């Protein structure tokens, strides 16, 4: 069975509801060209969340990227104690059985690993926000995860809650299943994508 690549925030764990991205944006907005905040596809995120993610997606690797990422990460890290697992997350991972799996997230790897550990969600391969890997909506993180898993993209499925996940899957050449968002979040990029209301429903859409 092919590998499953998973977004983290609002797919396995809700971090976004508890992260003060408005405060993060206030810290960094005077450091950057504000037009960069609009990078990436339209999505249902809050304007501050989208601004912060737009910056880390659009800025080139370097000192400014590091400054912005670190400022945003402080607020993401502060949200870990209040984060909550998405319904059925642990059962979903158990039901994957022996399928290879990896998390590909816009959160920094250390934040992602900390929140996974907090909720006892055991996934060994995590590709997080990193200046050497172009983040979603690029598919570079998905390709990095597949390399670490030793699996081809043709057999992989990406599961995520946003248009950025759908765009990354398209760029990486993987199938995509949406979850925890309405179909209109994905249809502009992946018109025929399944849009599941739960992780249990995602299982029914995974190829055997």
Contact 132, 61 (CB under 8 A): yes
pLDDT tens per residue across span 107-135 = 999 999 999 999 999 999 999 999 999 99
Quote the pLDDT of residue 42. 94
Q: Which of 208, 76, 185, 198 is nearest to 129 (CA)?
A: 76
3-state secondary structure 18-36: HCCHHHHHHHHHHHCCHHH
Quote the pLDDT of residue 16. 97
Name the band, by pLDDT with cuts 50, 70 and 90, for residue 187.
Answer: confident
Q: Is the pTM of this model over 0.85?
A: yes
Name the band, by pLDDT with cuts 50, 70 and 90, for residue 63.
Answer: very high
**% of the chain with per-residue pLDDT over 70:** 100
């Amino acid at each position: 069975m092919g590998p499953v690549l998973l977004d983290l925030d609002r797919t396995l764990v809700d971090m976004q509801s508890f992260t003060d991205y408005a405060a993060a944006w206030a810290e960094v907005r005077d450091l950057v060209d504000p037009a960069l905040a609009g990078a990436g596809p339209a999505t249902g995120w809050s304007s501050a969340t989208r601004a912060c993610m737009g910056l880390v997606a659009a800025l080139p690797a370097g000192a400014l990227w590091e400054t912005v990422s670190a400022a945003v990460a402080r607020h993401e890290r502060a949200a870990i104690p209040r984060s909550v697992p998405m319904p059925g997350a642990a059962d979903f991972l158990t039901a994957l059985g022996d399928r290879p799996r990896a998390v590909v997230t816009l959160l920094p790897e250390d934040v992602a690993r900390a929140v996974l550990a907090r909720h006892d969600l055991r996934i060994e391969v995590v590709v997080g926000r990193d200046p050497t890997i172009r983040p979603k909506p690029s598919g570079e993180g998905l390709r990095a995860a597949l390399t670490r898993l030793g699996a081809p993209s043709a057999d992989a499925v990406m599961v995520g809650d946003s248009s950025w996940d759908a765009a990354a899957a398209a760029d990486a050449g993987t199938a995509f299943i949406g979850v925890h968002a309405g179909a209109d979040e994905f249809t502009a990029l992946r018109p025929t994508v399944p849009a599941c209301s739960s992780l249990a429903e995602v299982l029914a859409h995974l190829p055997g």
